[in-house]
Structure 1
Amino acid sequence: MSTVSDNHGTSKALDKIKWLFVFILVVFVIWGNFYFAGPNSVYQPNVVVRIIGVILVAVLALLLAITTQKGKSLISFAKESRMELRKVVWPTRKEAIQTTLLIAVITIVVGLCLWGLDTFFFWAISKLTVLGH
């Protein structure tokens, strides 16, 4: 029984170390990108080399993050979301156009009704107050 809890504790400690390395890699990428891009930099690599370096270190950080428990749960969530997305029944082109036109017509009608009410209330209030004479 204690080996299970020890294993879980070791896994948590290992995850914390992995997240620390991910954080260090991200900080290194940000620092390196700004340092080597500056006009006062001693070594100014080609922009393509900088971009490739940023991408490689970012991918390394991402791969390291995926190996943690949170990363594995994120991958599982993404897979389940994709399966649910495949179950969605999308409307046909005709249904989408009809729904869009219906919403546009309703919006125009409601807008005209509100404009009419606004005009009526403005007229009524102007007749009741000093603006009406």
Structure 2
Amino acid sequence: MADKIKFLLALLLVVAGVVGFYLLAEQPMILRVLSVLAGVSAGAAVAWFTEPGQRFYVFGGEAVTETKKVVWPSRKETLQTTGIVFAFVLVMAIMLWVTDKSLEWVLYDLVLGWKKL
């Protein structure tokens, strides 16, 4: 129950920051943005002290650890893969253009008899 109350408080702090943005309409933009950032920061700080907040922090740490284990492609592999993708896109574009022009010729010239001038 305490976690739900903390989450409600965190949500109210974020809403207060957004409401502050609109209430400070006559103030410089930096103060309005700082109002939102303060509300989000305060809400995150309150949510941090909940059990789900702590689990989210652990999950984030595990995600970073897993990201470090990824074998990223080399520059050469990246350029080769990108080249293959571009070549495939070019071939598909040409095939679709040929198909489109063929259907246009069949429908307009042969079937309907609408010869182009």
State the TM-score bracket (shorter-chain normalisation): 0.7 to 0.9
Task: Report the equivalent of 2:95.
Answer: 113
Structure 1 residue 88 corresponds to structure 2 residue 88: no
Is the 2:14–2:42 Cα contact (8 Å) retained in structure 1? no
Q: Which amino acid aligns with 2:17?
A: V
Higher mean displacement: 91-100 or 16-25 = 16-25
SS of equivalent residue, structure 2 residue 73: coil
| Distance change in 2, residues 1:52/1:103 (3 Å) | closer
| Distance change in 2, residues 1:64/1:114 (3 Å) | same
Larger radius of gyration: 1
Task: Report the equivalent of 2:20.
Answer: 32
How many percent of aligned residue pairs carry the same amino acid?
A: 30
| Distance change in 2, residues 1:111/1:48 (3 Å) | closer
SS of equivalent residue, structure 2 residue 68: helix
Q: Which ranges of structure 1 fall in alignment gaps of 5 or more residues?
A: 1-12
Shift of 1:101: 1.0
Number of positions where the alignment pairs a residue of Structure 1 with one of Structure 2:
115
- Matches of 2:85 and 2:5, distance apart in 1: 53
Task: Report the equivalent of 2:110.
Answer: 127
- Matches of 1:118 and 1:18, distance apart in 2: 60
- Matches of 1:123 and 1:47, distance apart in 2: 59
Task: Report the equivalent of 2:42.
Answer: 60
What are the superposed Cα offsets for residues 68-101 of structure 1, whole Å, 9 maximum, x if unpaired? 1221221122111111111111111111111111
Shift of 1:59: 2.0
CA RMSD of aligned residues (A): 2.4
| Distance change in 2, residues 1:18/1:59 (3 Å) | same
What are the superposed Cα offsets for residues 40-68 of structure 1, whole Å, 9 maximum, x if unpaired? xxxx5x66555555444432221110111
Task: Report the equivalent of 1:101.
Answer: 83
Q: Which ranges of structure 2 fall in alignment gaps of 5 or more residues?
A: none
